[in-house]
Structure 1
Amino acid sequence: MPESRKGKGRGFWLGFFLVILVLALVAVLALLKGGRQLAEQQLSQVAPPVQKLLYLVLDGRYHVVPEDARLALSLALQEQLGLMQEDQQQWLEARIDSAVDAAFAPVHDRVGDFADWYYSLTGEYLRYAHAIGGDMGEYLREKLETMVFVPAALETNLDNLFDSLNTDIAGQLQQAEGRLTGNLELLFRDYARPLGAGEPLLGDTLDLDALLAGSLAISRKDINRQLVSALAATGTGVAVAKGLGAVVVKKTLGKVAATKSFHLAASLLGKLAAKSAVKGGGVLAGAGTGAALCSPTGPGAVVCGAVGGLIAWLVVDKVAIELDEALNREGFEADIHAAIDAQQTRLKQQLLEVYGGLLAKQFSPLQEAAQDLGVSPGKRRPIDLP
């Protein structure tokens, strides 16, 4: 056989076997890839997807929250916090209302004493003296303070009110911490499970113990410090909580002094003029009667006439005061009570605003954490793990 034909034969068989080898390799690769895809598909149908877990620390114990339970736990916890905060706000309103009313009750009780003095001969003549020699309006304000506000101890009562509120609110928040811990343990029965012994931590961890302590375990001194800061922001002029009583007393006196019943300095001259017409005839008649009853001549007649005139003067004043009291005392006292009530209402609003803001501030980190429970993993605030 010629040499050229032999070479062609070897080339043919070489090409033939190369094609077979390549096709065999392609078939093997396709078989391997198809088998792997089939295995992955079967595995995905049998095994659930791996979930990212959340670990919550409560009462020193770890609890595991699956990813698909985070949103439900977040919503349930937000609801619990909302209800608890609403309860705290209702308690606060009732507590402030009763505390302020109790502080002002002795003031209201002594308004009648001031009215007794006002509708008396002594009060009448002292007002005349101050109308002539000074500011009667200021005198009445000072008299109201010494007869009503000082013996009622309003300044001291208000200072004590703050101490009492701070103590009670600190206690309420500590009780709320205990109730919330119990509520969380109930929620964990539905949305979490205890961490097993030796089970590794593979997700994010939130220390609820530290969060609750930082938000609700607050001392009376801490509350007082926040209170002073909030009061300063309201423009009450209070540098420290202990100064609130004096500020409130001053403002209450100002409200009372602004009532129409205290605008007596301007109307006093008219009041005197009306009395003078009555007194003119009364004094002359009293003097004549006194002189007739005494010795008709000599120094005795002068003395008796003077005594009679004085008695007549006092009788006219006494009758005028009693008439004024019968006509105006009820409205006079009502004006004073209304001015005091207005200051009470204003103080309640200010305290509710300040303390309500303080409560909201304490619950805010808890509300934020509850909302964060429903977000995707990786956005939690981790803690140092042991």
Structure 2
Amino acid sequence: MGEKSSSKLVWLGFFGMLLVLALLASFALLKGGRQLARVEAEQQSGAVQKLFYIILDGEQRVIPESKRLRLSLDMQSAVDEEQQLLRQRLQQRLESAVDMAFAPVHAHVSDFADWYYSLTGEYMRYAHALGGDMSEYLQQRLRETVFLPAALESNIDNLLLESNAALIQELQQSGARLAAQLQLVVAAASWPVGSGQPLIGESLDLDRLFAAGLQLNASDINRQVLATLTATGTGVAVAKGLGAAVVKKTVAKVAGTKSFHLASALLAKLAAKSAIKGGGVLAGAGAGAAICSPSGPGALVCGAVGGLIAWIAVDKAVIELDEALNRETFEDDIHAAIAEQQEQLKSSLLQAHEHILSAGLAPIKQGAQALAVPAGEFTPADSALNPAARSDYEK
């Protein structure tokens, strides 16, 4: 009896062990299947996530992972080439416009020299030297004889308006050229998304970046140009108009020349004339008195007239000598000072317009650079449109 009980227990233990093993095997099979399914799903998901989508001109195209780096470099190159082309056009246009605005100024420099080397100018300077600042007076005459007739202030203000309007047009044309170029580059490295195909993965909306960067209005352009000019010291008085600021700085530049400093100093010239006049005026007065009558009231009048004529004759002779010796240098110094300010304005305007151009193309270039980032680490295109990135032209 005891042997039968022991046998049953053995068999029960054996079958129980088989059952446990079967359960464990089933559990392991089930768990392994789930793990395999999850791995396969992750692998498939990873393949989908590596797909990259570009939206350009309203069309969605798929960029394979293997072509992202090459496409990124090609797109950046296209943006750089367009930026360089536009910079050259901006430089040519601005240089031509500034030269045209300053041309009348150079043409009127001779008018100031005519006044300076004249008896009228000489005596007006003497009269003003008695109770005023000679340098300030000469600067005022420079404005009246050169800058006002040349209308430089209004010419510069008009130049700014016209250049800003031209920049808006240039940006629009540049955007169209760049979009067409990028369409060719993108098409060579992608395929269009099929109708109804779900977009699973990362995407770059170039249409939004073009709109954000290159579609600026006149107010945007003007604000940024003036801000840059103020920062460079060219537009320190932009509240009164850029033209007024340029005239003020140009007059100050001329006043700082050596010739202008010499023109403001009358003591040396007076001393030189006095030595000549000392004998010439007395001789003229004596000759006048002798011609009129040897004595009497008429002699005094004739003597005074003769002395005055001699005085004026000496002044005129000295002025003519001064003009013959120094006028060319005098005018050259004025032209050089004006030209220096002219070149500075060109540089400042170009810098201001380049600043706007760079800010406009920056979102597109940032988007192109993002293409080179491995899948899963891509930063959405919206990051190129955040306040920090747009601060260059939204201040």
TM-score of the superposed pair, with normalisation by structure 2: 0.83
Q: Which residue of 1 aligns with 2:60?
A: 62
- Asked if 1:223 is matched to 2:239, the reply is no
The AA in structure 1 aligned to 2:208 is A
- Write the mapping of 1:164-179 to structure 2, written as runs, cut at 5 A: 164-179=162-177
- The aligned counterpart of 2:322 is 324
Residues in 2 aligned to 1:340 and 1:6: alpha-carbon distance in whole angstroms: 126
Per-residue deviation at 1:228? 3.0
Seen in structure 2, the aligned counterparts of structure 1 residues 16 and 278 have a Cα distance that, compared at 3 Å, is: closer
Aligned to 1:187: 185
1:135 equivalent among 133, 136, 148: 133
Contact in 1 for aligned 2:205/2:381 (Cα 8 Å): no
Query: Structure 1 pair 42/334, CA: closer, same or farther in 2 (3 Å)?
Result: closer
- Find the residue that maps to 2:265 and give its secondary structure: helix
Residue in 2 that maps onto 1:275 = 273
1:253 aligned residue: 251
SS in 1 for 2:266: helix
Q: Which amino acid aligns with 2:99?
A: D
| Secondary structure, counterpart of 1:201 in structure 2 | coil
Distance 2:8 2:76 in 1: 84
| Cα offset, 1:216, TM superposition | 0.7
- The match for 1:110 is 108
- Give 2:389's aligned residue: none
Task: Report deviation, 1:289.
Answer: 3.4
Which ranges of structure 2 fall in alignment gaps of 5 or more residues? 384-395
Question: 1:238 maps to which residue?
Answer: 237
CA gap 1:190/1:113 in 2 versus in 1, 3 angstroms: same
In structure 2, C-alpha distance between the alignment counterparts of 1:287 and 1:301, rounded to whole Å: 9
User: Does the 8 A contact of 1:131 with 1:265 survive in 2?
Assistant: no
The separation in 2 between residues aligned to 1:9 and 1:297, in whole angstroms, is 178
Task: Give the Cα–Cα distance (whole angstroms) in 2 for the partners of residues 149 and 274 of structure 1.
Answer: 32
Is contact 1:228-1:238 (8 Å) kept?
no
Paired residue for 1:263?
A: 261
Aligned pair partner of 1:90 in 88, 91, 103:
88
Aligned residues: 380
Q: Distance in 2 between matches of 1:278 and 1:234?
A: 51
1:64 CA drift (Å): 1.5
Give me the whole-angstrom Cα distance separating, in 1, the residues matched to 2:219 and 2:331: 40
CA contact under 8 A between 1:158 and 1:244: conserved in structure 2? yes
CA contact (8 A) 2:49 2:202 kept: no
Distance in 2, matches of 1:39 and 1:251, equals: 77
Q: Work out whether 1:340 is the aligned partner of 2:338.
A: yes
1:199 maps to which of 178, 197, 200:
197
SS in 1 for 2:130: helix
Q: CA deviation at 1:300?
A: 4.3
AA partner of residue 154 (structure 1): L
| 2-structure distance, mates of 1:207, 1:319 | 79
Instruction: Tell me how far 1:142 sits from its aligned partner.
Output: 0.7
Structure 1 residues 308, 12: CA separation in 2 closer, same or farther (over 3 Å shift)? closer
Pick aligned residue for 1:75 from 70, 73, 76: 73
Q: Give the Cα–Cα distance (whole angstroms) in 2 for the partners of residues 251 and 23 of structure 1.
A: 98
Partners in 2 of 1:250 and 1:26 — Cα distance? 95
Q: Deviations over 1:73-132 (max 9, x none)?
A: 222111211222222223333333222222212111111111111111111111111112
* 1:5 Cα deviation after fit: 4.7
Cα distance between partner residues in 1 of 2:227 and 2:257: 33
Letter in 2 for 1:259: T
TM-score for both structures, normalised by structure 1: 0.85
Identical positions, percent: 57
After superposition, the Cα gap between the structure-2 partners of 1:322 and 1:14, relative to the gap in structure 1 and judged at 3 Å, is same
1:150 is aligned to 2:148: yes
Which residues of 2 match residues 347-358 of structure 1 at below 5 A?
Answer: 347-358=345-356
Larger radius of gyration: 1
Q: CA deviation at 1:343?
A: 1.8
Kindly indicate whether residue 197 of structure 2 is the aligned counterpart of residue 213 of structure 1: no
Residues 246-296 of structure 1, C-alpha deviations (whole Å, 9 max, x = no match): 111112111212222223476312211211221222223333433444444
- Work out which of the residue numbers 263, 282, 285 in structure 1 matches 2:283: 285
Looking at structure 2, the residues matched to 354 and 60 of structure 1 have their Cα atoms a distance apart, in angstroms, of 32
- Cα 1:106–1:8 change in 2 (3 A) is same
Shift of 1:328: 1.0
Could you list the runs of 5+ residues in structure 1 that have no partner in the other structure? Answer: none
Question: For structure 1, which segment, 351-360 or 211-220, has the greater mean C-alpha deviation from structure 2 after superposition?
Answer: 351-360
Greater Cα offset, 296-305 or 351-360: 296-305
Helix, strand or coil for the counterpart of 1:133?
Answer: coil
CA contact (8 A) 1:107 1:154 kept: yes
2:241 is paired with a residue of what secondary structure?
Answer: helix
Q: Kindly tell me: are residues 36 and 280 of structure 1, through their superposed partners in 2, closer, same or farther at Cα, counting changes over 3 Å?
A: closer
